[in-house]
Amino acid sequence: MSFSSLGLSDEIVRAVTEHGYTIPTPIQLQAIPTVLSGGDLLAGAQTGTGKTAGFTLPILHRLSSGGDKAPSGGYTPGHYPIRALMLTPTRELAAQVEESVRTYGKYVKLKSMVMFGGVNINPQIQRLRTRVDILVATPGRLLDHLQQKTVDLSHVEILVLDEADRMLDMGFIRDIKRVLAVLPKHRQNLLFSATFSDEIKLLADGLLNKPALIEVARRNVTADTVAQKVYKVDRERKRELLTHLIKEHSWHQVLVFTRTKHGANKLSEQLTKEGIPALAIHGNKSQAARTRALSEFKTGKLQVLVATDIAARGIDISELPHVVNFELPNVPEDYVHRIGRTGRAGSEGEAVSLVCIDEKKLLSDIERLIKREIPEVVVPGFEPDPSIKAEPILNGQNRGGGQQRSGGRSQPGARSGNRSAAPSAARPRGPAGSGAGKPPLHRTGGRGR
């Protein structure tokens, strides 16, 4: 089945086809007709399957088919209402979603804008004084504008909550409710999530009106295209083993996860000293530093990118070959999100976890969640010392140390001081999830507000 057979306009199909995409992914096959029908939708799909296109393309069709709402005499302030609002948890995701809106809406007369925190608000205020049909925003900065009365959401026809599971995990439920309170009661609601947790279902019950339900992958399932391995190693030799694996196997594009910001900085510095170009990306990095690191990594100039869980949600790279869990995450679901950075949209990838004695229970929890055992490997010369005793993992690291989890909270309910992640200078992607120079249509992530 082609995109044109789904009922999309010729202008939108033309924009998609220009980038070499003609066959929709399973989530797009189901979501696009549902959104076109005007009904509410609760959609879940495993990472890398093209959820963004599932709502971006039909929204572009619906709004462009609804006619130009501006007066015939031309634009005057206030005559171009914001008609679609797309909320995302992170700055990276917001930037990529808005880029897909612009790219695939190139032949329709709609204007879009991206809005996130961590940057000067004044240019955003100026932009809001011009035509904005589709607004892509992170919750915190949107609330800033609402408080300053610089944005009007009273005419929103379509609301999208993208990465809803991550928004809840990052503590944005109150922000979301405050935004919902100012929206028109009669609107189309689309909720997209990588997983269907009980919290997501509760949110959906209060938000959606008789929604269609789409779930194209089982909850918390890892992709078959990702080859998973566990390397058993002592905690103090992880960095040495990682260096060995990268050099021995000539890995040239490696995304490495740590639990803490401090750990990411330290590891990237150590790898660089070993002759492996590496940079860290996390919530404490400046926007310029994050953008530079992402850009260099996506173009292949940077060999290793070391990231915390929240920051890495903005990384969406076509055919990323290697993901390494330098430390296992405290939350098993984060393992699924981590390794979902590779093996996307049918391409193959490898996910490697360096596991020490301290992480035995974390590994068991992950295997219980994904309902499979991960093959274990011991590299000659790196055999674990059986005399080493397990130490508790406190606040995201061993032996205490006061580092907060990479998820951004040092205490329950407390937010990280970093309000959002920097926009990615990513190579864009298309509906099928591959090819350089294509606009991003798949879910991504990072820390954001």
pLDDT digits (tens, 9 = 90+) for 422-432: 433 333 344 44
Find, among 237, 261, 271, the residue nearest to 357 by Cα: 237
Q: Which domains does the chain have, with CATH numbers?
A: 4-215 (3.40.50.300), 226-398 (3.40.50.300)
* pLDDT score recorded for residue 369: 87
Strand partners, 384: none
What pTM was computed for the model?
A: 0.63
pLDDT averaged over every residue in the chain: 81
Cβ neighbours of 278 (radius 10 Å): 23
Q: How far apart are CA 116 and CA 82, in angstroms?
A: 16
Q: How far apart are CA 347 and CA 331, in angstroms?
A: 26
Is the pLDDT at 136 greater than 80? The verdict is yes
* pLDDT score recorded for residue 347: 64
Which pLDDT band holds residue 318 (cuts at 50, 70, 90)? low
How confident is the model over 217-263, as pLDDT tens digits? 655 556 666 889 999 999 999 999 999 999 999 998 999 999 999 99
Is the pLDDT at 296 greater than 60? The verdict is yes
If one compares 132 and 408, the residue with the highest pLDDT of the two is 132
* pLDDT score recorded for residue 15: 92
For residue 368, what is the enclosing H or E element?
helix 360-370
* pLDDT score recorded for residue 265: 94
Is residue 382 within 8 Å of residue 233, measured between CB atoms? yes
* pLDDT score recorded for residue 220: 56
* pLDDT score recorded for residue 408: 35
Which pLDDT band holds residue 447 (cuts at 50, 70, 90)? very low
Q: How far apart are CA 129 and CA 101, in angstroms?
A: 20
